[in-house]
Structure 1
Amino acid sequence: MIITALAFYLFAAMTVASAFMVIAARNPVHSVLFLILAFFNSAALFVLLGAEFIAMILVVVYVGAVAVLFLFVVMMLDINFAELRQGFLQYLPIGALVGIILLIELILVVSGWALSPESVEIAALSAPAASELTNTEQLGHIIYTDYAYLFQAAGLILLVAMIGAIVLTHRQRPGVRRQSIAEQVYRPTEKSVAIRKVEPGQGV
């Protein structure tokens, strides 16, 4: 039990520290690397909670796909980050004010949450026993039944993000030959096929 508690505090501290470094690092590539570290530590916390499937999904999807995509986009974009940071102190008071207002609103929303006894009883009657289902089956039941539309909306958001990343990183460079499928498809036959009559004994 002591080892589990120590592991929890270690992974939690590493998660908080790496999350802070994501917004504090000056180099955007370092920020993405700290984000990957935060994902790994969060996956370790899920393993301690017994949700090994969510931990695996967090590592495979977010670390293996999303964070790596962020890293490639940041490395391929030609952005002058030093120029973007020049007006940081100028807008810091306004940003802090907006952040404080959002924090107060979140506290008011969370403090106003309450569960009625009827909803707890209905959920207990309709849900099967936890011992009868595995973590993967419970997660699939929740995602694909109760939150099916939100799951589809999340997929559309990721699709838009992927298309945006492709558009941002796609740059036209002089001297680079690119494939044009339309030109290849609509190319006339006389330009693509040449028929030559070779006499006997005159071949290569």
Structure 2
Amino acid sequence: MTFATILFYILAIVLVISALRVITAKSPVTAVLFLILGFANAAMIWVLLGAEFLALLLTVVYVGAVMVLFLFVVMMLDVKMEVLRAGSRAYLPLGFAIGLVMVIEMAFVLSQSWGDVGPAAQMPADFNNPRALGELMYTQYVYAVEIGAVILLVGMIAAISLTLRRRKDVRYNDPSAAVKVRAKDRVRLVSMPSQAPDLNLEVEEKQP
């Protein structure tokens, strides 16, 4: 057994344990942290399989952006797990049924395709996987990449426009108006004559 095989089994075991902890953790912050651990282990497994581009994409997009955003949202919203789990028992039979169907489908696909898998393609020593994918994306599949980019841009603009609401209880600051403010428009100097203290009144207050 080679070192790569041992490392693969270690990463796979950690990935399975972290996936179980995602759905069994009591705290949502702990679940998100275990999900980040699972994504990191999946990225390292892809590196072992030679898919460096997918590993880098998973690390940058999901671990570096999506999961950190989930973590900040969960911490800021202070999600109560008791409220989330209030009606979860009613959906447990349906969830187990769907999970069983998925496991049966994956087992069927693996059993049918296990014997048809041929040897791995022989690549030269200087083969660069991200470079090959980049050349294919921006030469042969350039229109598909541009269409996907436009769809993502439209989705982002639509999400911003749907969530943007004008609130009346918020005071907005106009930077151009703040720059044009003059001191005499904000501060007023008032000249008031000084008054001498009444000594007779002070003496009467001190007497019992």
State TM-score, norm by structure 2. 0.60
> Which one of the candidate residues 129, 149, 166 is aligned to 1:135?
129
Counterpart of 1:140, as a letter, is: G
Counterpart of 1:88, as a letter, is: S
Computing the radius of gyration from Cα coordinates, the structure with the larger value is 2
Shift of residue 12, structure 1, vs aligned partner: 1.1
What value does the CA root-mean-square deviation take over the aligned residues?
A: 4.3
Shift of residue 55, structure 1, vs aligned partner: 2.5
Counterpart of 2:182, as a letter, is: A
**CA separation of 1:82/1:140 partners in 2, compared to 1, >3 Å: closer, same or farther?**
same
Q: State the distance in 1 between where 2:17 and 2:182 align.
A: 67
Q: State the distance in 2 between where 1:157 and 1:38 align.
A: 30
Q: Is the 8 A contact 2:28 2:79 kept in 1?
A: no
Q: Is the 8 A contact 2:137 2:145 kept in 1?
A: yes
Q: State the distance in 2 between where 1:69 and 1:15 align.
A: 21
Shift of residue 34, structure 1, vs aligned partner: 0.4
Identify the residue that residue 152 of structure 1 maps to in structure 2.
149
**CA separation of 1:57/1:97 partners in 2, compared to 1, >3 Å: closer, same or farther?**
closer
Identify the residue that residue 27 of structure 2 maps to in structure 1.
27
Q: Is the 8 A contact 1:25 1:31 kept in 2?
A: yes
**CA separation of 1:10/1:68 partners in 2, compared to 1, >3 Å: closer, same or farther?**
same
Residue 50 (structure 1) aligned with residue 50 (structure 2)? yes
Shift of residue 111, structure 1, vs aligned partner: 8.6
Residue 92 (structure 1) aligned with residue 92 (structure 2)? yes
Q: Is the 8 A contact 1:18 1:38 kept in 2?
A: yes
Q: Is the 8 A contact 2:46 2:52 kept in 1?
A: yes
Q: State the distance in 2 between where 1:150 and 1:156 align.
A: 10
Deviations along 1:72-93, whole A, 9 cap, x unmatched? 0111114332022121112212
Identify the residue that residue 39 of structure 2 maps to in structure 1.
39
Q: State the distance in 2 between where 1:162 and 1:7 align.
A: 41
Structure 1: unaligned runs, 5 residues or longer? 114-128, 197-204
Shift of residue 157, structure 1, vs aligned partner: 8.9
Shift of residue 11, structure 1, vs aligned partner: 0.6
State TM-score, norm by structure 1. 0.61
Deviations along 1:39-63, whole A, 9 cap, x unmatched? 2111221221233343333223322
Q: Is the 8 A contact 1:46 1:54 kept in 2?
A: yes
Counterpart of 2:91, as a letter, is: Y
Q: State the distance in 1 between where 2:158 and 2:17 align.
A: 27
Q: Is the 8 A contact 2:29 2:71 kept in 1?
A: yes
Q: Is the 8 A contact 1:143 1:151 kept in 2?
A: no
**CA separation of 1:77/1:101 partners in 2, compared to 1, >3 Å: closer, same or farther?**
same
Counterpart of 2:60, as a letter, is: V
Q: State the distance in 1 between where 2:83 and 2:49 align.
A: 44
Residue 194 (structure 1) aligned with residue 152 (structure 2)? no
Identify the residue that residue 67 of structure 1 maps to in structure 2.
67
Q: State the distance in 2 between where 1:21 and 1:153 align.
A: 37
Q: State the distance in 2 between where 1:161 and 1:18 align.
A: 34
Look up the SS of the partner of 2:182 in the other structure: coil
Identify the residue that residue 12 of structure 1 maps to in structure 2.
12
